[in-house]
Amino acid sequence: MNIEALISSFSNKRIAVIGDIMLDRYIFGHVSRISPEYPVPVVDVSHETQRLGGAANVAVNIHAMGAETMLFGISGKDGNREVLNGLMKNHGLDTRHLFEDPERPTTCKTRILSQNHHIARIDYESRQDASEEAVTFIRKHFENSIGTLDAIVLQDYNKGTLTGLLIRNILETASEHDVPVLVDPKQKSFFSYTGCTVFKPNLSEIASSLGITLANNDDDVEKACRKLLSQLACRDLVITRSEKGLTIYNDRITHIPASSLEVADVSGAGDTVIGMLALGVASGLDIEKSAVIANLAAGTVCQEVGAVPVNPEKLIKACEDYFQE
């Protein structure tokens, strides 16, 4: 298999990413003392960075592979929206498909780190369902683009963008146009994605939604997959299992071990996985090969602190090493 040619073929694809868009802010510093006012660590700040998170990080990962990416979602009408716009433009992403809602904040997660260890996180967000006006805006922009799409990613963080009505509309429209839909779910709308192409939950999301205790062993995971697939009627289940890698369940079961690369931070790894799965499915790869590539891509981004997009050169090297073994 010519890995470089395969990765290069991703640039011919057009992928829509719809879901909860976030701004990730990182404050880096050093803790050397405890506050005399309260028994809390004092962080001497060295620098700050701001990155695209949530559905926007999925879009960045897909775009980093050369594919054309359309990002649909909601922001507030505030300073963080301006930061979001600037970051999107820096990454070559179009901001026209983002609805600006003055009644809700732009979702922003501020992480405070000392020596690359997380000290605290501060969230600005609304979890209320999107307004009727916002849903209509996203639906119209999406429907105007459906004829040009090779795949659709629904990235749900339970922040209100993917309402039940919008989910049904997207799935119905995608089915009419034979466009695959890949879902990264959260608990609130977990069973609203019946009939999607690929469904990618993690173990805790499955356990919470099925109301079961789920150990991270193959037998328990396989039992949960059978139960879940019967309720969702999707084509493929791809289960992320942290240090145990991925499990694929359809008409057969496949376990893919985690990448052996050194892990610095798992932030954004799930975004990378769903983005790479979408590119693989859009390119006609079988789900097992797509999942191997996605798993290797996640391994490369976990080597860095914070959510970062996959590097095509690192991914090509990781894939060549894996498939030559």
Q: Locate tokens 């006609």: which residue?
A: 284
Task: Give the active site residue among 123, 271, 286, 321.
Answer: 271
Helix (H/G/I), strand (E/B), else coil: 204:
helix
Instruction: Find residue 240's DSSP bridge partners.
Output: 202, 246
Give the pairing of strands 246-249 and 198-199: unpaired
The sheet with strand 181-184 has its strands ordered as 98-101, 68-76, 14-19, 151-155, 181-184, 198-199, 236-240, 246-249, 253-256
- Our answer to whether residue 271 is catalytic in this structure is yes
Residue with tokens 């879940």: 228
Run of H or E residues at 4 = helix 3-9
Report the distance separating Cα 55 and Cα 126, nearest Å.
16
Strand partners, 43: 31
Q: In the structure encoding, which two tokens stand for residue 158, read together?
A: 């339970």
Tell me if residue 113 falls in helix, strand or coil: strand
The Cα 39–Cα 146 span in angstroms is 55
Q: DSSP string spanning 11-25?
A: GG-EEEEEE-EEEEE
Q: What's the rounded Cα separation, in Å, for the pair 309 and 93?
A: 13
Backbone angles phi, psi at 54, to 5 degrees: 60, -135
Q: What backbone torsions phi and psi does residue 56 show, to the nearest 5 degrees?
A: -65, -35
Measured CA to CA in angstroms, residue 240 lies from 76, 178, 195, 323 at distances of 31, 26, 20, 21
Catalytically active residues are 271
